[in-house]
Amino acid sequence: MKKKVLSILSLSTVFWINAQEKDSLNQTKIEEVVITGQYMQQSINKSIYKVEVIDAQQIKNMAVTNVAEVLNQSLNVLIVPDRNSGNSTASLMGLGGEYTKILIDNIPVVGDIGLGNNIDLTKLNVNNIERIELVRGSMGVDYGSNAVAGVINIITKKNSQKKLTLNASLQEETVGKEYNWYKKGEGRHIQNLNIGYNLNENWYIGANINHNDFQGFKGNQEGYKYFAENNDGKRGYNWQPKDVLNVDGILRYNKNKTSVFYKFGFLNEKLNYYNPLVTELYLGGGNRTYIARDRDYLTTKYLHQLNIQTKFGTINYTGDFSYQTQDRKFRDFDYDVPNRSAAPKDEYKSYNKADVMYSRGVFSNFLNNDKIDFQLGYELDHTSGFAGNGAGTFEGINDVKRKIFNYANFISAEWTANNWLSIRPGYRLALSDKFDTQHNYSLTMRAKITENDNIRLVIGSANRFPNFDELYTYMVDSNHNIQGNQDLVPEEGMTFSLNADKKINTNSGWNFKAGASATYLNLKNRIELSLINQSPLQYKYINIDSFKSYLFEGNFKAQKGSFSLAANASYYGTSKELRAGGITSPDDFFYTFEGNLAANYIIPKINTTLSLFYKYTGKTQMFVLVSPNITTSYYEIGQRNDFSMMNFIVTQPFYNNHLEVSVGIKNIFDVSSVRDTTIGGTAHNAADSDANLFYGRSYFARLNYNF
């Protein structure tokens, strides 16, 4: 640990010393604007909510390949990967991905088990992102169900300052120590092309193509060609190969007080699962071979989105309309391992499909008054589709069809009581053809102490609807009895948050920002898979548990010219009360410390950018149920150990910034698996004592061309 801290301090000191040099590259700082939770686009200093913004330049400096890598640098955000499915979801404030609403341009993203929640962030391209806005806390009034822990809103690029914009990039990256340009099965290879063109002062057209080819991570495995007659289980990969293609197109019209844009999106993801289990196949005549039953997964997704912003007299209107469809398919086939040949493959079979119609409309500025404003809005989504046993374990052999219609109206009023106090109460009424009527409330207050000092109080509620697995899982055989529950009720979350921030601008050119916040979250009717009977052993999803969380956070940022340094720290505690088989867990709070640091410096004259990113995640503890046999169960404290992540990137422009070369190291401390006993074992399955969060230290090089 001492070596890690010294490494960070040494690199930070180099940045700080270099920043004292005379900088000829000073530029006027344009104040950041945000849209998440606002009536209209608003400067971040005047925002009614505390919003964390990660802009395009920060994302570029990180040299990340997807949204999961971006958010992994933020505090209280843990990216939880599944090395078999290839999915990575965001855990926010101690709650899983199903409690955070993921939006792209205010539209919830369609996912495997819901709309906007539990989204695989590795599928989301970063090269057309203008900024990412993150708001912590329950925001059910503004964004509806599942916005319990917070909202992550990804804002894409929709215009260009130049007549023609063309950007192309190539990035080659090792996966741990594994890399080979030619040989299949090693490394990560990314290509991106972005084109934008202003047809005239009113019309803009743009397109983005991104290909992210992850060739898997073998780790302690030996790859898909490996063969051993003793069937030692070393065939295949620790992290499965995954190939993602994103294609986006946009057409925008902007004139006077009206802006309209249409966006088309297409995603194609291929994931290969190579079975470590190899079986003998007798061919007759004394001949034999060895085969593995492998599987290919194919995911396709289409998006059509229309956004309208205009005025009806003095009334502002923003309307979003979208149609999204996602289809997940698979095909199984036999692979002859000694002869390295695959049997003819059948057609892909669909096992999880969702079609979503979504619309959200907001009206504001009814009174055209600086003192008071109203916002009226509606939101509706209609989801249809099905899931088969390839997507989970459900009763019977037929697909489980799903169809749900949700409709909501919401209202809020923003009152500027005087030149320093703004108050916004809000209410949402949500109707569903599946669940009972839901009510969400919010109260937000912003006090402007001075032009550069703000205090915000935010109270908000949100609910979470049960997901597909929780409703319909049915795995019953001689060894298992695990069932969903169609009588589940939505979870109810409430947060209270108080935060303050301050800006200081000095005559010497230094700009400082500092902030502190405290948040309390209370979740009722939490859904858990619970042990309901000891003998025979039976599990069922039921509304029994409660969850509470406290979060204390401090933020600091310093900037002068081409040097910036941001340091943040948080301390949060979580309490879960679990009940299973007549046994109730203690409800003690367990606390975790996190800290991060981001430093960027542009060396004068040669314009070389040095970027350092560091994040420390402290140990996490919770009670877990342990069932060593069918008659005995008890709770014990499980723990995931602490770990540190650090990346260092150097970027050098050439030819008047038309060409850029970036090189760097990710995961400098070579973190791969982390000791984790927070998942309890059962009578049939022992708990895995390690969480495979990363695949170790990697190196990359990126070549970027700007027209």
In a domain, 463, yes or no: yes
In a domain, 7, yes or no: no
Burial label, 278 (beta-carbon count in 10 A; 0-12, 13-18, 19+): buried
Q: Mind listing the pLDDT tens digit for each residue in 211-268?
A: 999 999 998 899 999 988 788 889 999 999 999 999 999 999 999 989 999 999 999 9
User: What phi, psi does 123 have (nearest 5°)?
Assistant: -80, -10
Q: At which residue do the structure tokens 């946009």 appear?
A: 250
Please report the pLDDT score of residue 297 as a whole number. 94
State whether the Cα torsion 14-19-25-29 is positive or negative: positive
Strand partners, 171: 190, 702
| Cα atoms found within 13 Å of the Cα of residue 498, Cβ hemisphere only | 2
Q: Distance between CA atoms of 455 and 419, rounded to whole angstroms?
A: 14
Please report the pLDDT score of residue 348 as a whole number. 94
Please report the pLDDT score of residue 15 as a whole number. 44
Residue 164 has pLDDT above 60, yes or no: yes
CA-wise closest residue to 249 among 325, 169, 194, 167: 194
| Cα atoms found within 13 Å of the Cα of residue 550, Cβ hemisphere only | 10
Q: Mind listing the pLDDT tens digit for each residue in 441-466?
A: 999 999 999 888 999 999 999 999 98
- Written as one string, the DSSP assignment of 121-166 is GGGS-STTEEEEEEEES--HHHH-TT-SSEEEEEEEP---SSSEEE
Please report the pLDDT score of residue 680 as a whole number. 55
Please report the pLDDT score of residue 1 as a whole number. 47
Please report the pLDDT score of residue 245 as a whole number. 97
Strand partners, 127: none
Residue 188 has pLDDT above 70, yes or no: yes
Mean pLDDT across the stretch 631-649?
89
Domain that holds residue 135: 33-340+349-509+519-706
Q: Distance between CA atoms of 471 and 485, rounded to whole angstroms?
A: 5
Burial label, 54 (beta-carbon count in 10 A; 0-12, 13-18, 19+): buried
- CA distances to 137, 194, 259, 574 from 520, rounded to whole Å, are 9, 42, 39, 10
Please report the pLDDT score of residue 9 as a whole number. 41
Please report the pLDDT score of residue 10 as a whole number. 45
CA 103 to chain centre: 10
State whether the Cα torsion 160-163-166-167 is positive or negative: negative
Q: At which residue do the structure tokens 């196949």 appear?
A: 281
**pLDDT band with cut points at 50, 70 and 90 for residue 478:** low
Q: Mind listing the pLDDT tens digit for each residue in 409-427?
A: 999 999 998 888 999 999 9
Please report the pLDDT score of residue 520 as a whole number. 96
CA-wise closest residue to 561 among 27, 205, 7: 27
Please report the pLDDT score of residue 154 as a whole number. 94
Start-end of H helices in 275-328: none
Percent residues over pLDDT 70 in the chain: 91
Please report the pLDDT score of residue 684 as a whole number. 43
Q: Distance between CA atoms of 673 and 220, rounded to whole angstroms?
A: 12
Please report the pLDDT score of residue 3 as a whole number. 45
Q: Mind listing the pLDDT tens digit for each residue in 103-162?
A: 999 999 998 777 888 899 999 989 899 999 999 999 999 999 899 999 999 999 988 888
Q: Distance between CA atoms of 545 and 583, rounded to whole angstroms?
A: 12
Burial label, 247 (beta-carbon count in 10 A; 0-12, 13-18, 19+): middle
In a domain, 16, yes or no: no
Residue 685 has pLDDT above 70, yes or no: no
- Written as one string, the DSSP assignment of 202-252 is SEEEEEEEEEEEE--B-TTS-BTT---TT--S--B-SB--EEEEEEEEEEE
CA-wise closest residue to 696 among 664, 665, 651, 675: 665
Domain count, the chain: 1
| Cα atoms found within 13 Å of the Cα of residue 516, Cβ hemisphere only | 2
In a domain, 28, yes or no: no
In a domain, 55, yes or no: yes
SS3 269: strand
Please report the pLDDT score of residue 27 as a whole number. 37
- Angle at 562 (CA atoms; ends 556, 567), nearest 5 degrees: 20
In a domain, 591, yes or no: yes
SS3 441: strand
Q: What is the CATH number of the domain that holds 302?
A: 2.40.170.20
Q: Please give the structure tokens belonging to residue 164.
A: 């023609």
Mean pLDDT across the stretch 586-610?
94
CA-wise closest residue to 571 among 495, 623, 622, 519: 519
| Cα atoms found within 13 Å of the Cα of residue 282, Cβ hemisphere only | 3
User: pTM of the prediction?
Assistant: 0.90
How much is the mean pLDDT over the chain? Answer: 87
The single-letter DSSP state of residue 344 is P
Q: Mind listing the pLDDT tens digit for each residue in 630-639?
A: 567 788 898 9
Query: With DSSP H G I counted as helix, E B as strand and the rest as coil, what are the percentages for the chain, rounded to 5?
Result: 5, 60, 35
Please report the pLDDT score of residue 2 as a whole number. 42
Q: Distance between CA atoms of 429 and 411, rounded to whole angstroms?
A: 9
- CA distances to 85, 227, 330, 389 from 294, rounded to whole Å, are 14, 14, 10, 17
H or E element that contains 468: helix 468-472
Q: Mind listing the pLDDT tens digit for each residue in 296-346?
A: 999 999 999 999 999 998 999 999 999 999 999 999 999 999 999 999 998
User: What phi, psi does 423 have (nearest 5°)?
Assistant: -130, 135
CA-wise closest residue to 354 among 331, 308, 322: 322
In a domain, 27, yes or no: no
For residues 408 and 144, the answer to whether their CB atoms sit within 8 Å is: yes
In a domain, 15, yes or no: no
Mean pLDDT across the stretch 670-686?
70
The single-letter DSSP state of residue 98 is G
Strand partners, 527: 543
Residue 6 has pLDDT above 70, yes or no: no
For residues 474 and 393, the answer to whether their CB atoms sit within 8 Å is: yes
